């Protein structure tokens, strides 16, 4: 799990990302506000990555994959998240 967490953290880099916090594979990507986060979430879902926000942090996109996620799937998901950010901002 630690190796997969580190891979996520290494791939989630963008100027619009304010902070990435994690505990294992429970990961939060923090953006400036809810409106930006919601647009990114909607685009991620459109592009095939299922995600949502945290009830206690509406500006944070939630990543909670199964523990059996592969490194290739992590890479693909992160590319889609970065693509979504680029398309909506």
Per the CB < 8 A criterion, the answer to whether 15 and 52 are in contact is no
At residue 71, the pLDDT reads: 98
Q: With a cut of 90, say whether residue 55 has pLDDT above it.
A: no
CA torsion 22-60-58-24 (nearest 10°) is -20
pTM across the whole model: 0.95
Q: pLDDT digits over 11-43, tens only?
A: 999 999 999 999 999 999 999 999 999 999 999
Q: What percent of the chain has pLDDT over 70?
A: 100
């Amino acid at each position: 799990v630690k190796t997969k967490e580190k891979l996520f953290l290494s791939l989630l880099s963008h100027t619009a990302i304010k902070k990435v916090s994690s505990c294992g594979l429970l990961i939060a990507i923090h953006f400036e506000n809810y409106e930006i986060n919601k647009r990114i979430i909607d685009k991620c879902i459109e592009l095939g990555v299922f995600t949502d926000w945290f009830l206690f942090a509406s500006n944070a996109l939630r990543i909670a994959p199964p523990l059996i996620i592969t490194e290739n799937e992590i890479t693909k998901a992160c590319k889609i998240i970065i693509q979504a950010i680029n398309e909506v901002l």
